[in-house]
Amino acid sequence: MRALVAVAVAVTLGAATACSAAPPEPPATPLASATPTTPSPTPTAGPTSTRPTPTPTPHPTATPHPTVPSVLARLPLTARVGQLLMVGVPAAGTSDAALRQLGRYRVGGVILTGRSHAGTSATAALTARVQAAVPGHAVLVATDQEGGAVQVLTGPGFSAIPSARSQGRWSPAELRARAGDWGGQLRAAGVRVNLAPVADTVPPGVSNPPIGAFGRQYGSDPAIVATHAAAFAAGLADASVIPTAKHFPGLGRVSANTDVSSGVTDRVTTRTDPYLAPFRAVIRTGHPFVMMSSAVYSRIDPGQPAAFSPTVITGLLRGDLGFDGVVVSDDLGAARQVSAVPAGERAVRFVVAGGDMVLTVSPATLPAMFDALYDRAARDPAFRARVDRSAERILLAKQRLGLVAPNG
């Protein structure tokens, strides 16, 4: 996908985010080879604060079946905080210096951003380099592979995925089968989390820049969206790829895009809204992730974006919908909606609200986010307990994929 679609995505959706289609990245450092390159175990610079930097250790080779609490108990606080961070890596390739930064902070996940046309083999080489760079447990590698205008990975081995609007015309059985194929392609490339399906519903006739303008919705009826989002999620799970229902509690009825606008507010959605049905349907498929919107929902919590709202995350998602899996933020690194809040405070507010994995497409925000999370956890036992609970959820998701090493 290029030409007019790519230009429209770049202009309208802005930075490469999990919420939206990512524009083309500037030329990145080419992949050195298909063989993972292990960075020096002694970094030249650590985190920006004075807290201890963990000593990198090689990935364990033995693979018994440890319990997640026992693994968590052996992790220092630095490693527990690192699990809560998912950081942007250009899908077309990255530098050894950028990989060393990921390793210093022992990040729990990365999101492949921008566009790559290199295919599954080259992407697998990139994800192998990421895994080799980060000590401890394997990294959750994610990307946006929805289809249509939002497909980060293309080239040999990757299918051209139709838009969700087109997918919504298929039977759920066909969609599940096709999503299973697409999930298998991601897994072959080392990508184990797809930041899809979009569970947002855009009503008929509504002008909706982030979703409707790009055909990212399965339909205009929440019942149709529910069946098809669940089918897409089930297909990914069939391929051992984690699906992600987004953007909770829904971005289908806003009039601006949180990536490039501030003050984005949904004035319609309530805690008992029928438009929540697609999220509930995806949650019932098994063990998905749920991504939070950063819009404000004035009829649920008018005081703050959903990603910072205990009412939305803890009350509505975890309480009303009964979700106890991994809650990941939409981009908190470059999105205009949250730009007035300092980067470190964004991370802390998300975790305080009940979130687990802080997603930033901007690696430049990683030090501030790590420092803020670490400092708060080191001095606040209640917040440290939240960090532990989130790290445990993330490690449990990794264990289900066979990615938890026994020795921490």
Question: Among 206, 218, 148, 122, which Cα is nearest to 176's?
Answer: 218
Instruction: Give pLDDT, residue 188.
Output: 98
Characterize 214-228 residue by residue with b for buried, 16 or more Cβ atoms within 10 angstroms of its Cβ, and e for exposed: bbbbbbbebebbbbb
For 105, the token pair is 């902070």
| Residue 36: inside a domain | no
Mean pLDDT in residue range 294-322 = 98
Using pLDDT thresholds of 50, 70 and 90, give the confidence band for residue 67: confident
Confirm if 340 and 262 have CB atoms less than 8 A apart.
yes
CA-CA distance, 375 to 23, in Å (whole number)? 34
CA-CA distance, 203 to 216, in Å (whole number)? 13
3-class DSSP state for residue 399?
helix
Is the model's pLDDT at 58 over the cut of 70? no
Question: Among 277, 109, 128, 80, which Cα is nearest to 194's?
Answer: 109
In the DSSP assignment, the letter for residue 315 is I
Instruction: Give pLDDT, residue 54.
Output: 38
Range of the domain at 362: 3-25+76-400
Instruction: Give pLDDT, residue 320.
Output: 98
Could you read off the pLDDT of 263-301 as tens digits, one per residue?
999 999 999 999 999 999 999 999 999 999 999 999 999
| Residue 45: inside a domain | no
Cβ-based neighbour number of residue 133 at 10 Å: 25
Q: What is the DSSP string of 264-332?
A: -EESS--TT-GGGHHHHHHHTTSS-EEEEP-SEETTTEEEEEGGG-HIIIIIIIIIIS---S-EEES--
Could you read off the pLDDT of 359-406 as tens digits, one per residue?
999 999 999 999 999 999 999 999 999 999 999 999 999 999 999 865
Instruction: Give pLDDT, residue 29.
Output: 30
Mean predicted lDDT score pLDDT of the chain = 87
Q: Where are the alpha helices (DSSP H) in 302-342?
A: 310
| Residue 293: inside a domain | yes
3-class DSSP state for residue 85?
strand
| Residue 21: inside a domain | yes
Peptide bond into 65 cis (omega under 30): no
Is the model's pLDDT at 43 over the cut of 90? no
Question: Among 66, 103, 133, which Cα is nearest to 407's?
Answer: 66
Using pLDDT thresholds of 50, 70 and 90, give the confidence band for residue 342: very high
Is the model's pLDDT at 36 over the cut of 60? no
Mean pLDDT in residue range 336-349 = 98
Q: Backbone phi, then psi, for 88, in 5-degree steps?
A: -70, 135
Is the model's pLDDT at 187 over the cut of 70? yes
- The CATH number assigned to the domain holding 350 equals 3.20.20.300
Instruction: Give pLDDT, residue 31.
Output: 28
Using pLDDT thresholds of 50, 70 and 90, give the confidence band for residue 53: very low
- The DSSP element (H or E) to which 370 belongs, if any, is helix 366-379
Q: Backbone phi, then psi, for 143, in 5-degree steps?
A: -160, 175
For 378, the token pair is 């080191």
For 354, the token pair is 């009940």
| Residue 37: inside a domain | no
Q: Which residues pair with 85 in a beta bridge?
A: 358
| Residue 57: inside a domain | no
Split into its structural domains, the chain has a count of: 1
Using pLDDT thresholds of 50, 70 and 90, give the confidence band for residue 157: very high
Q: Where are the alpha helices (DSSP H) in 14-92?
A: 68-73, 77-83
Strand 150-151 relative to strand 145-147, pairing? antiparallel
Is the model's pLDDT at 127 over the cut of 80? yes
| Residue 169: inside a domain | yes
Is the model's pLDDT at 52 over the cut of 60? no
Is the model's pLDDT at 199 over the cut of 70? yes
Peptide bond into 64 cis (omega under 30): no
| Residue 408: inside a domain | no
